[in-house]
Structure 1
Amino acid sequence: MGTLINMQPLFLLFLLLKPLQFVLITNGSLTDKEFEEHLDGTGPTRAPTKELFKAHVIIDSKRPLHDPTYCSDEMKIKNAHRRLYCVKEHFFLQASHEDIHMICHNTFVSCGEEVETCYTSKKKIEAVHCVLTSGIKMLDCEYTSSYEKGWVFITCRWQNDIREVIPESVVGMLTSTGKVPFPHYS
């Protein structure tokens, strides 16, 4: 007559092992949980990073900035939204990331009640200012596009993993006509 150890050694071995943990590897930048949170509008927003700022704000010089459909097209191409909702206002800047990054090292100024501290460029930068005209959720968003050239106001923040201050968002611009198209945050 055998004991349980002699009769079922493989079964006992499985009992002693830790349970397997499966990890889903995807090609996207979001985990399944993050993707689901973004779809239903819950959960925290992702912290801005150097790469996100480059992807959503910096533009190249191949396309004319005076194109009236610039914003509607680029907002979709660059996937610029807030939890899949249309962004009310947005700026695309035609400058290198290094030039924009250097603004974070300029003297800071007060930008108002909602954004207390921001930094301004020392030279004029070309940009496209986008203002939402219709739509609520992504793919239905339509924008007016206006070419701007002026001094850019941005916010900056510390990115811990690369240990440097990075541009976070464009707050507005001061153009030569005195127009200050600061976005109204809600």
Structure 2
Amino acid sequence: MTVLKTERLSLSELTGEEAGFVFRLMNSKGWLQYIGDRGIRTIEDARQYILNNTMKSYTEHGYGMYLVRTEQDQVPIGMCGLVRRNFLEYTDIGFAFLPEYNGKGYAFESASAVLQYARESLGMKKIIAIVNHDNQPSIRLIEKLGMQFEKTVPFPGEDTQIFQFSTAD
């Protein structure tokens, strides 16, 4: 189901059919370096991740991470959406793209659309973004979206601190 469209992109709910793409994305160098290893070793692992996390979020919260495709040829290039984490006070926006699609403005375009959707359709006043402190490209993007650094927070289960940015209340 298509949730959002932009000039160049369409964002839709993930289904088990995209497991091969999710497997590839979640094992890409950037994902592993900046987001972390989620233990996705097979396409079936990716399918289970989609079913038990992403699709569950759609049901429980009415939103989640969305598959980002190019509008012109419908090629899957990344994910962007909203995540409700129990260790954070607010919903956060997230994004990840295959390496060959970085630097083309797709993350900004999709994240801008997701922020607008969160405010206008979901009624969210404050949205946060969490990011690894050394992920400078994502930090620049988050700042370009108009979000401001708020604080450093621990990431559960990992011996690391992450930066938290937020929109204005």
User: Which bracket does the TM-score occupy, shorter chain normalised?
Assistant: under 0.3
Normalised by the size of structure 1, how large is the TM-score?
0.24
Q: Which protein has the larger Cα radius of gyration, Structure 1 or Structure 2?
A: 1
In terms of fraction of residues, the more helix-rich structure is 2
